[in-house]
Structure 1
Amino acid sequence: MTTAKATKPSSKQKLFDAALRLIGERGAAGVTVDQIAATAGVAKGTVYYNFGSKDGLVEALLRHGVDLLAEQLRRAEAVPDTESSVETLVDGALLFFGEYPEFAQLLVSEMWRTPGQFHGTLSLLRDDIVAIVKRVLQRHADAGRLCGVEVGTASAALFGTLLVVALDWQTFQRQRTREEVRESVMLLVRGMGRGQGKR
């Protein structure tokens, strides 16, 4: 009995799952608290009890998802070889977005919405992720494997590439394996290391 209760998802987790699914399909603005509660199978008041409002739920969802993504990406920082660390970073992002494709949709739809309701929160969360990518690429650059591209620009570009490539993979090219997609991204990364000294 205790075990069964422990394995049941909490009301908060049900709300996260329902909100992620609905927001991924319709965008944050197109989803109501009633719809989230109905999809989660909980009372509407549960949303307000746990998060205060729909906006509170969406912000918590964004933070939760970025925390999970950051956890995946940080594994790359422990890999000694610089190219292997970039590959681990790319693979971690693809693994996360493969498991949570709706979160990629949410980030794409909200991150570049102008003006965006969650722009402030997303800016901070984006900075957290790009900082991890930057640390990995800085090591890559220090090893002489990143030519002529400023590390901050390369980091933002790689994060954007991973987000859009993962979304394209999950939406239009599901027949491709994660390994195939990873290698395609790594070809782009390796291309940034070619032609050093040419200005």
Structure 2
Amino acid sequence: MAAAGSPSVFLVSVTGQIESGRFPGFDDLYCKFCFVYGQDWVPTAGLEEGISQITSTSDVSPTTLVWNFPIDITFKSTNPSGWPQIVVSVYGPDFFGHDVVRGYGAVHVPFTPGRHTRTIPMFVPESTSRLQQFTSWFTGRRPEFTDPRVVAQGEGREVTRVRSQGFVTISFNVVTKDMQKLGYNFGHVTSCV
């Protein structure tokens, strides 16, 4: 039984930004994000999901799309199982002007406190046959996930055909409180993600 005054939960605060993306051959893209986490995790402050502005490449940086879209959330939990992940989905116009997915990706929030930068490889689902590919191109209805959170979970993805497409860079500032008091010490971990 916990002693009086000792914590029963720990806190993880995450700030930072979805900095930029590289999607060769694509322009005028925006991104969405959401957090996926385990049953013992509860958001106590901040936003669990968001959508950025549309950005374009520039003459100075013709391959980089800059969003600098802020993220800010605080979680409480009783154990590290189900450590939060951020799922990023990038969208943009196709040849016909329809918004289509240009990439999905996910990464765990870093386990150690401090400033971290992660580059997420992005992917898109693909049609399984030539007929489906032609039909999806012709109608402007390309394959996409009905819920992007599936990207951070193992269930339901075993038979999905995907193609790599682009990268997104995210910076994290992670602060933890009371983890060591509950017996969790990630301070000596060198590489977790």
Shorter-chain TM range is under 0.3
The higher relative CO (CA closer than 8 Å, separation ≥ 6) is in 2
TM-score of the pair, normalised by structure 1: 0.26
TM-score of the pair, normalised by structure 2: 0.26
Is the strand fraction higher in 1 or 2?
2
